[in-house]
Structure 1
């Protein structure tokens, strides 16, 4: 038996994008056991992956060093693993596998990690344009090409859990809802305008579709504005649902309309039809990996800029995506089984 510890990224979408690496490790080594060291807030996404045995809480937030705390956690893991895969590129993220004495430590060089990482890969961004490919490359022997094609992420659905979550929040199972995910942790340059979400909510409500808004507590003000502008056509659940709840509700949705966000990747991995809206970021790097996903990306000359806020002040990359465009794309997904 090969025992592997994965040090995961801190973001939900990145963890979902890492699943093809887990799949490849599990396929190539039938006797493998894979555990993850991950922040508590991403644990439900990892727990929905059949390749993962358990999630060990990583208490060290972004930027936190705490060498004593890392040493103590590492020593509690000593002797339990044969290999570690360190997905973040920071130096400190590789310290726990080093302190734990895990003999094989795999990752990209990043931040001068020579010796800390001892099965080191060099990142060729042109050869590996997609984030999912970069994680999966770590399953290969350093210096060899990535084996393609990659499987898409695939999260488990649990009908019993979905029913329990609906009951918990007093939500009707039918008609199935349209789910909006209007948040984007990175910044407002990734968010489709509230007025557009509101107009789409009014259209959907008029056709008899319930509209539920999902996201974190930070997304609640954006969702409140959508509810206000739509005249109450949507239900704001932001901050009232855990990530595990959100996974269940997205699995139950008729379709999802989402910014480029962690929940976009969750919806894709659940196989729920979705329309993903890209503005300041690139669908060539982090697309939703699903045959039931459609991307609307205008590819303006100023996009992608990868800025948190629009440097030109107009946000045309998202303002010019109209509710009519999104509705038409969703209709194509539902009636034809795939995107345009």
Structure 2
């Protein structure tokens, strides 16, 4: 088995955006032992990452670097992927005797690389997720980056949920800081006005370092600034319902943990470092000098031009106002045919008609089903789509999501991982704490625990779908 090293980046936001590249490297080396070399401050971010086998702490200063080089030599790495751009990363890999060294040919380190990736100024004008992913893609052009999910274990999610249990839902997370400089910070008094408005609807938690609190005396505002480790921050953030932030490391943690967010951009560009795809909303300045990418400015007109009403209205558009029932498919809505792959084996349970009562009570009906038979080449993906469409067209389901991946791929969408419900939350403004997960397996119950919904297991909590409806109606009337 080959040993492969990845030199991670040094900044929190970059580390999140590099996750698809790390997973891409795993696809290139599916049978290798992969180690990640990273600064200690980012260790917590990678300790849950299933695509790597171990995390090695990078030790700064001369003595620390010598120690790191000796440690790397002992492990006899065959190849090093240098996601960090610095000359130092290439030099350490070279001195550690790693025979193959891959990275962008920049910062005067080209001669130290055995597989230099040609660098041009235009390469920094693509989104940073794509920038980092270019490194593994050079070896397999068919690779494409996945979403940079971060998935804390359910036990750590539950500990964070316990810390927040006394707060009124929904909970808005606010991160008013940004280490890059004041040009990335929306004005403090505007953050405070948003917070005061939101406390009329729910609660607010503030995240950041100890200097980034908002100094608000309000029992509905809890200040976590300077009080959390990185892993605690990730877990607490994942339990919030919304996030309001600048372009910052916490913004990247927000979309990576699936929190619908409003991100405010001034001197920087969302095209380069913004939330990917469906993560929420970006509010940016229309000032002609933005983005300037400066960390200091005497005027900061870009941030001052963004008013409170614009941000408040964007928050209201993401407000978690919908209740949903998430249904497993095979064994819950229809007979489990052991990889349903033809219509002759499709047998729907007659009690499904009772789900109309949930629709009439204001619940969204959303299917979430693991379909690894697609990746196993047992089931045609189009057949899965056709079956799922039937539930939408005939039985009033609002959406039907499926995971096509093999269990060994470690994807974020395969239950009990929360990817499918999180996508649905983005699309439909769902309040998980007022929602349900219905299934026939332990994975469905674990999914409910993951997202903080109530789980109902057929065969244990209810005999059939009709009893499921009765349980939910009793809860509503309680």
From 94, 97, 104, the equivalent of 1:101 is: 97
Q: Given the alignment, which residue of 318, 341, 346 partners 1:333?
A: 318
| 2:153 match | 158
CA RMSD of aligned residues (A): 2.3
Aligned to 1:183: 177
Counterpart position of 2:346 = none
Structure 2: distance between partners of 1:88 and 1:214: 27
Residue from 50, 69, 73 that aligns with 1:74: 69
CA drift of 1:69 comes to: 3.4
Q: Which residue of 1 aligns with 2:131?
A: 134
Q: How does 1:99-248 map to 2 (within 5 A)?
A: 99-126=95-122, 129-141=126-138, 147=142, 149-167=144-162, 172=166, 175-207=169-201, 209-217=202-210, 220=211, 222-225=212-215, 227=216, 234-248=221-235
Three-state SS of the structure 2 residue aligned to 1:288 is coil
* CA–CA separation in structure 2 for the residues paired with 1:188 and 1:213: 18
In structure 2, the residue matched to 1:288 is: 275
Unaligned runs of 5+ residues in structure 2 are 322-424, 429-478
Residue 17 (structure 1) aligns with? 17
* In structure 2, C-alpha distance between the alignment counterparts of 1:284 and 1:175, rounded to whole Å: 32
Instruction: Report if aligned partners of 2:58, 2:65 keep a CA contact under 8 Å in 1.
Output: no
Aligned residues of 1:87 and 1:135 also touching (Cα < 8 A) = yes
State whether residues 72 and 96 of structure 2, in contact with CA within 8 Å, keep that contact through their aligned partners in structure 1. yes
Check whether the contact 2:24–2:143 (CA below 8 A) recurs between aligned residues.
Answer: no
Q: Are residues 189 and 237 of structure 1, via their aligned partners in 2, closer, same or farther at CA, if it must alter by over 3 Å?
A: same
The answer to whether the Cα contact below 8 Å between 1:35 and 1:56 also exists between their aligned partners in 2 is yes
Aligned residue for 1:211, secondary structure, equals strand
C-alpha distance in structure 1 between counterparts of 2:92 and 2:128, whole Å: 24
Larger relative contact order, structure 1 or 2 (CA cutoff 8 Å, min sep 6): 1
Cα deviation, 1:158-216, whole Å, max 9, x if unaligned, reads 2320222354x575365241101111011111011111110000110012x11000112
Q: Please give the secondary structure, in 2, of the residue aligned with 1:52.
A: coil
Deviation at 1:249, TM superposition (A): 0.8
Larger Rg: 2
- TM-score, normalising length from structure 2? 0.63
Separation in structure 2 between the aligned mates of residue 99 and residue 28 of structure 1, nearest angstrom:
24
How far did 1:315 drift?
A: 1.8
Q: Closer, same or farther in 2 for the Cα pair 1:147/1:3, shift >3 Å? A: same
Q: Number of aligned pairs? A: 322
Does 1:276 find its partner at 2:263?
Answer: yes
Cross-structure match for 2:248? 261
- For residue 30 of structure 1, give the secondary structure of its aligned residue in structure 2: coil
User: Offset of 1:327 from its aligned partner?
Assistant: 2.2
2:306 is aligned with 1:321: yes
Secondary structure of 2:81's aligned partner:
strand
Contact kept, 8 Å, 2:26 with 2:52, in 1: the verdict is no
Shift of 1:79: 4.5
Q: In terms of mean alpha carbon deviation, does 258-267 or 81-90 score higher?
A: 81-90
**Equivalent residues of 1:202, 1:233 under 8 A apart:** no
8 Å Cα contact 1:49/1:154 also seen in 2? no
Write out per-residue CA displacement over residues 13-70 of structure 1, whole angstroms, 9 at most, x where no aligned residue: 101111111121223432133221111111111223221222211121xxx5x2x532
For residues 128 and 107 of structure 2, the distance between their equivalents in structure 1, rounded to whole angstroms, comes to: 18
Unmatched runs of 5 consecutive residues or more in structure 1: none
Alignment of 1:26-41 (within 5 A): 26-41=26-41
